[in-house]
Amino acid sequence: MTTKVQKFQLYVSPFGSAIWPKLTEPDFKFNKDFGTLSIGIRMTEEAAQPLIEELTAYADHWYAETDSEAERAPLWKPDLDRETKEPTGDLIFSFKRAAAKLRDGAVVKNKIAVVDPMGKPFEGIIGAGSTVRASGFMSWYDNANGFGVSLQLQAVQVTQHVESNDPVAAFGEVPASAMDGLDVGDFG
């Protein structure tokens, strides 16, 4: 019995370590109009095996189905040591979604659902190193950049939270006594 491969195939990733999570504030580097909500997840090759098999089967099916002759884009990338630039043995998967879209001429914001281990809404800001998994839909593309699969992000589950390294939040509030003698009029 063969399983029908859907154009938009649901996925749930294994758990891994969050890299550069941007789940509430969009990144405008590649999508200047609406920005992108995204998260990278680093995991061991062993832990990633179910996702690797699912992604590979999906990509193989649609590559053959579309008769594409484009070069195939990588479905994941190796994690490289910061100093030596040598592979660590772990893999990095990128999950993303446009932060907004046009619908009937109006801009509609997209939101990534973030939940705790019990599936309840999580209110904190996910920091790098948090243990997470992602879910959403695989979607293939065939364009000038090649043939590949995009992991369209819909939700993230957090099981171990690491505080975000927000440099502005690190300041905290300055007590009034520390501002004695300062001319704060120049800041407003």
Q: CA–CA separation, 125 vs 120, rounded Å?
A: 15
Does some domain include residue 131?
yes
136-177 pLDDT, tens digit per residue, is 999 998 888 889 899 999 999 999 998 876 565 555 566 666
Per-residue pLDDT, 172:
57
Domain range holding 115?
8-165
Considering only CA atoms, give the Rg of the chain: 20
Of 156, 164, 137, the closest CA to residue 15 belongs to: 156
Does some domain include residue 174?
no
Does some domain include residue 176?
no
Per-residue pLDDT, 178:
61
Question: How many structural domains is the chain composed of?
Answer: 1
Does some domain include residue 125?
yes
Does some domain include residue 93?
yes
Does some domain include residue 173?
no
CATH number at residue 67: 2.40.50.140
> Considering the chain, what percentage of its residues have pLDDT values greater than 70?
85
Q: CA–CA separation, 97 vs 74, rounded Å?
A: 18
Which tops the pLDDT comparison, 6 or 88?
Answer: 88
Which helix or strand (DSSP H or E) is residue 94 part of? strand 87-98
pLDDT bin (cut points 50, 70, 90) of residue 1 is very low
Average pLDDT over every residue of 89-96 = 96
Residue type, position 132, single letter: V
Does some domain include residue 181?
no
